[in-house]
Amino acid sequence: MGSERVLDLMKAVNGTQYITGFGAKNYLAHELFENAGIDVKYMNYDALPWPQHTPEFTPYVSALDLVANVAPENRKAHLNPKTNDWRSVI
């Protein structure tokens, strides 16, 4: 049911690519998207560490963590945006 809702939203905006987090690999009906001509990609969280208030760096936090801990002019240096095709994740 969740896959259909997301698919409907993608169709409503004429989307051609859906980028999601790894949690979706357990429930997303990838074939529905493929049949609709929508490419599914998974975020590859390859962030470069930034100072946090924890002993070890945790990249799987909200982007607000980067905003709160890093000066605006330095934020892009910590992001390394990549995606993986859904077939390589499943």
63-80 pLDDT, tens digit each: 899 999 999 999 999 987
Contact between residue 32 and residue 3 where contact means Cβ atoms under 8 Å apart: yes
| Diameter of the chain measured on Cα atoms | 45
Give the chain's domain count: 1
3-state secondary structure of 52: coil
pTM: 0.69
Give the sign of the dihedral formed by CA 2, CA 45, CA 72, CA 68.
Answer: positive
Domain of 81 in residue numbering reads as: 2-89
Average pLDDT over residues 21-38: 93
